[in-house]
Structure 1
Amino acid sequence: MSRSRRTRVDSNPVLKIVNWILWGLSLLLSAYLVYSLFRYGILAVYNLNVILSLVALVVLGILGWVLLRFPARVWVTIILVLSLLVAGVGAIGVQQLVGLSSRLNHQANYTEYDLTVYVPKDSDLQDLSQVEKILAPMETDKDNLAKLQEDLTTNKQVNPQFESSSSYVDAYKQLKEGQAQAIVINSIFADTIESEFPNFGEGLRPLHTYQVRRKLETGRQDPKAQSFTIYVSGIDTYGPITSVSRSDVNILMTVNRESQKILLTTTPRDAYVPIADGGNNQPDKLTHAGIYGVDASIHTLENLYETPINYYVRLNFTSFLKLIDLVGGVDVENDQAFTSLHGQYDFPVGTVHLDSEKALAFVRERYGLQGGDNDRGKNQEKVITAVLRKLMSTDALKNYPQIIQGLQDSIQTDMSLETMMALINSQLESAGQYQISSQALEGTGSMDKPSYAMPGSQLYVMEVNPESLAATKANIQSILEGQ
């Protein structure tokens, strides 16, 4: 090419402007990436965040020098477009991760449930103004029912008389027997009623529903702390993850990053312990703490084990376990052969490979296990651990967008992104060598203990063994202290 031809090419004003705009956009996206890497601790392992930042700066510097020498060349435009695409993909990935964390944390600040006024399906009552008396447990759920009464008076301009029942189950029994005109059912108690009266809702007709949105009060900790405890609550219910529900899985994950040890402590759902907050510190099944909110479960376990719980993770098992298919399944070690009621799957002793359906059967089964609910808790620990390991590995990158969506639908947590990344980075640095141990609180079964949430019902509970409780507390403390 002649000198005059090169001069004309390099003096193309439109191409010059386009190239400088492309370089400027690459600079902005790279700056966002570098900021995010250090702000949230992303890839802060083996100094990868530092290396990537230096690479970005060097590449941008070289591109800037090339642009000064050849400001209006097409081949420079192509290189700049490729650079912009790389920076854009990285920025989108980081933004998805930051957005996911923000949504999970936003959901963690509140919980939702409904209070509904019902009449029998064949009742002549068609409107709240026709209802004179409403039956509800005014003592055990007085705060929520007071909100409903205020809503009826203020927004519906009706003021029916409220009469007290011993429980929501008792209220439904009286309505069913024709001894009540209308009742209130708190949605978080619906499954307790259904445990005695399957499909009870088919005989009811709603007149009014009041939604309660309650702020959660949970603890936080410095994301750089070397030791902390996470409460893992597992529910298996329909509806949004923010819905209040009994907690079928109650695991404390005590982590010490310095000693690279994790202790999983399972507390059986039937453990008979004082229930905090809405349970008024009255003894009841641990699973009933969940109906007062995840914070009630946290405070109950804090009181039981005399240790602070810094974060919580709430899983909806049905949707969470679907993530297993996105990471190619998980392997767990099975201690005893059994056939599951759910799906009729046979699980032999040894290593078993689980897809999402088999995993759901594996974590639900308790009747076919020698230790019943205690052994089910151990199986739940195994599956949760296996899934978390896969999600923190490179296998998760293959279906990154789908996993991000799946996590959003199945998890609620108050852990910050910085804390999650610190945990993932330390796990990666250890090359998966974290020493994970587990323990379970033990006790004796009983059928003669009263239930605060379900008075008058004969329920199976596990009376806690004092020696087991003392040993469990000591083991948690040992991990926290790095022993």
Structure 2
Amino acid sequence: MRKRKNHSKRSKLEYVNIALFILFALLAGLFLFTMYRYQILDFRYLNHLITGLTLALACLTVFLMVRRKARVFTAVVLVLALIANSIGMLAIKSVLDLSTSIQSTSTYSEYEMSVVVPVDSEITDVRQVTSLLAPTAIDQDNITALLENISQMKSVDLSTTPAASYSSAYQSLMAGEAQAMVLNGVFASLIESEDADFTNKVKKIYTFKMTKQVETAVEQVTGDVLNIYISGIDTYGPISSVSRSDVNIIMTVNQKTKKVLLTTTPRDAYVAIADGGQNQYDKLTHAGIYGVDASVHTLENLYGIDINYYARLNFTSFLKLIDMVGGITVYNDQEFTSLHGNYHFPVGEVHLNSEQALGYVRERYSLAGGDNDRGKNQEKVIAALIQKLSMPENLTNYQAIVQNLQDSIQTDMGIETIMKLVNAQLESNSQYTVTSQALVGSGRMDLPSYAMPTSQLYMMEINPDSLAQVKAAMQAVIAGE
């Protein structure tokens, strides 16, 4: 009787092991396929080592099951293998989810078009409007889309009176020269720069949210050199919202020589704005008004390079990564106190947490070189953060880093390219040499702005010698010198 019971237990355990092995084989196969498909752990032969161990484990368990030996040991091994593969799949899923998240909005930009009236106006419905100001010369496509939407939804065809800019339309509206005006939400920040109380003086009576396609990378770059445009914005809406770009950095990466060059172009640099800017001159930050494509093409034209990918960062949330890596250290070459946070930064090496870093990169009024020096400080912080993130020990924080990146970055760089960069870094186990440079020039108040033709704005006229030096340095890194 006891022999029969033992035989029955052995038979059941054999069936359990077969079931466990089938589950293990399926999960391991999925794990290995995904690992090779997206080049995950493709450094120091780690992917091949994992494959070898998996196959060896499979052969061992098959051998033991065929020989009907060590059934309990086999079951324990298969359960542990299932747990390990499950953890591995969860880790891979988090990486793939990050890639999907930061790429999900890379193909489009969001705009908000509105009709606004003075806050004390009795008009509450767009159908009551008979006088509408609109700067059609600088924003024709978006205004036309708004008017067509109003016609479709409200069955009213509005005619417009042309205005030189959104700023001049607002001034006319406040002067009582019209009942209402069209407002592209991107331009609201421009008006606020002239009237900080702008949002309290108008009210929206109609809003239309629209999306536009963004030109993204058609194929992933396979060479050793990449040019990546980093656009730093401070928007409280979705990362896909169109916004002026306060930070404009081109990161030139040469994976073969392990060199990274960060080139800052000040937001006030006076350049020909591509695409929606009609190649008319304006400050660089206004290129963001016409979408990230316009900023990319403007900088490509300025420096004579191809930009392979872009990354838009919500600077406020992106800098929270600094706390996750234990802070960063930068060399500060001039003493100042920041308006944001009232932090004091002495000359020399300073250790920054995320809030201090935000005050450090936002400050320009206390700096001798104004926006030029702010750009240099932004480079220092980004360079220090890149170096910290590239250290293998920070892989232990990958889940927290992934979660933060999902909310703060938008890019058209594919997972394969991202993993290639990560694998190359882990393979070499050496830090990149990160250097930085900034385009410089002289400030002027008499240069015309295409987006704000009626306003006198601070512009930075580019120094030709500085432009030549910046271009030469970029080409040197590209050439591997």
Q: Secondary structure at the match of 1:284?
A: strand
In structure 2, relative to structure 1, the CA distance for the partners of 1:199 and 1:32 (3 Å cut) is farther
- 1:119 aligned residue (113, 117, 128): 117
Instruction: Give the AA of the match of 1:356.
Output: S
In structure 2, relative to structure 1, the CA distance for the partners of 1:87 and 1:219 (3 Å cut) is closer
Match of 1:406 in 2: 404
Distance 1:362 1:255 in 2: 25
Match of 1:467 in 2: 465
Q: Percent identity?
A: 52
Deviation track 1:452-482 (CA, whole Å, cap 9, x = no partner) reads 0111111111101111111211221121121
Residue 204, structure 1, aligned to residue 195, structure 2: no
8 Å CA contact 2:132–2:178 kept in 1: the answer is yes
Deviation track 1:191-215 (CA, whole Å, cap 9, x = no partner) reads 1011111131122221111112011
Distance 2:197 2:92 in 1: 45
Distance 1:388 1:421 in 2: 15
Distance 1:241 1:462 in 2: 28
Distance 1:8 1:93 in 2: 39
Match of 1:284 in 2: 282
Q: Secondary structure at the match of 1:439?
A: strand
Distance 2:161 2:236 in 1: 31
Distance 2:122 2:318 in 1: 44
8 Å CA contact 2:321–2:404 kept in 1: the answer is yes
Match of 2:434 in 1: 436
Instruction: Give the AA of the match of 1:426.
Output: A
Deviation track 1:118-165 (CA, whole Å, cap 9, x = no partner) reads 112221112121111211101110111111111111222111221111
Match of 1:9 in 2: 9
Q: How does 1:60-75 map to 2 (within 5 A)?
A: 60-70=58-68, 73-75=71-73
* Dislocated runs of 4+, deviation >6 Å: none
Distance 1:249 1:49 in 2: 38
Deviation at 1:285, TM superposition (A): 0.2
Instruction: Give the AA of the match of 2:11.
Output: S
Residue 338, structure 1, aligned to residue 336, structure 2: yes
Match of 1:375 in 2: 373
8 Å CA contact 1:220–1:310 kept in 2: the answer is no
Match of 2:43 in 1: 45
Instruction: Give the AA of the match of 1:388.
Output: I
Q: How does 1:247-266 map to 2 (within 5 A)?
A: 247-266=245-264
Match of 2:311 in 1: 313
Q: Secondary structure at the match of 2:447?
A: coil
Deviation at 1:316, TM superposition (A): 0.4
Q: How does 1:79-478 map to 2 (within 5 A)?
A: 79-478=77-476
* TM-score, structure 1 as length reference: 0.95
Instruction: Give the AA of the match of 2:411.
Output: T
In structure 2, relative to structure 1, the CA distance for the partners of 1:327 and 1:2 (3 Å cut) is farther
8 Å CA contact 2:106–2:216 kept in 1: the answer is no
Distance 1:146 1:72 in 2: 76
* TM-score, structure 2 as length reference: 0.95
Q: What are the ranges of 5 or more consecutive residues in structure 1 without an aligned counterpart?
A: none
Instruction: Give the AA of the match of 1:11.
Output: S
Distance 2:331 2:426 in 1: 22
Distance 2:140 2:344 in 1: 47
Distance 1:59 1:248 in 2: 54
8 Å CA contact 1:263–1:436 kept in 2: the answer is yes
Distance 1:302 1:228 in 2: 13
8 Å CA contact 2:383–2:434 kept in 1: the answer is no
8 Å CA contact 1:223–1:422 kept in 2: the answer is no
Deviation track 1:65-96 (CA, whole Å, cap 9, x = no partner) reads 23334489455333322211110011011011
8 Å CA contact 1:16–1:72 kept in 2: the answer is no
8 Å CA contact 1:316–1:410 kept in 2: the answer is yes
8 Å CA contact 2:296–2:307 kept in 1: the answer is yes
Distance 1:319 1:379 in 2: 18
Instruction: Give the AA of the match of 1:255.
Output: V
Instruction: Give the AA of the match of 1:404.
Output: V
Point out the more displaced range, 285-294 or 37-46.
Answer: 37-46
Q: Secondary structure at the match of 1:11?
A: helix
Deviation track 1:411-433 (CA, whole Å, cap 9, x = no partner) reads 00011111111112222233233
Deviation track 1:13-46 (CA, whole Å, cap 9, x = no partner) reads xx44433232222222222222222222212221
Instruction: Give the AA of the match of 1:310.
Output: N
8 Å CA contact 1:234–1:314 kept in 2: the answer is yes
Distance 1:44 1:229 in 2: 23
Instruction: Give the AA of the match of 1:312.
Output: Y
Instruction: Give the AA of the match of 1:113.
Output: Y
In structure 2, relative to structure 1, the CA distance for the partners of 1:3 and 1:350 (3 Å cut) is farther
Distance 1:177 1:310 in 2: 47
Distance 1:180 1:232 in 2: 40
8 Å CA contact 2:64–2:71 kept in 1: the answer is no
Q: What are the ranges of 5 or more consecutive residues in structure 2 without an aligned counterpart?
A: none
Distance 2:28 2:368 in 1: 57
Distance 1:217 1:96 in 2: 27
Deviation at 1:386, TM superposition (A): 2.3
8 Å CA contact 2:132–2:182 kept in 1: the answer is yes
8 Å CA contact 2:173–2:180 kept in 1: the answer is yes
Point out the more displaced range, 40-49 or 61-70.
Answer: 61-70
Distance 1:189 1:378 in 2: 27
Instruction: Give the AA of the match of 1:269.
Output: R
Deviation at 1:48, TM superposition (A): 1.3
Instruction: Give the AA of the match of 1:262.
Output: V
Instruction: Give the AA of the match of 1:204.
Output: V
Point out the more displaced range, 216-225 or 115-124.
Answer: 216-225
| RMSD (Å), alpha carbons | 1.9
